[in-house]
């Protein structure tokens, strides 16, 4: 099962990124846990200085921008192996 973290304080782009991740998981038929990380200290501990951010299985795949839906799908498919 994949562990996905959506990093951000709850801004519009953070919420949109979470929705994109949920949609990609559904479309790919994956099993995943999505966690919302809003604590700035925890976000900075992950090495992310600007949000939104996305972490898949402990690896930061994007930060500081809203990725394309296809990028999110590709990252999740690759992580699922």
Q: Which two tokens stand for residue 46?
A: 């992950």
Longest dimension (CA), the chain: 33
Task: Answer yes or no: 56 catalytic.
Answer: no
- Name the strands in the sheet holding 53-56, side by side, starting at the edge strand that comes first in the sequence: 32-37, 2-7, 53-56, 59-63
From the list 4, 14, 24, 72, the catalytic residue is: 14
From the list 11, 35, 44, 77, the catalytic residue is: 11
Task: Answer yes or no: 11 catalytic.
Answer: yes
Residues assigned a catalytic role: 11, 14
């Amino acid at each position: 099962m994949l562990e996905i973290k959506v990093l951000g304080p709850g801004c519009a782009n953070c919420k949109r990124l979470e929705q994109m991740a949920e949609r990609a998981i559904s479309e790919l038929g994956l099993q995943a846990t999505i966690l919302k990380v809003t604590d700035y200290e925890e976000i900075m501990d992950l090495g992310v200085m600007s949000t939104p951010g996305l972490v898949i299985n402990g690896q930061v795949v994007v930060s500081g921008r809203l990725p394309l839906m296809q990028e999110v799908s590709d990252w999740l498919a690759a992580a699922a192996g």
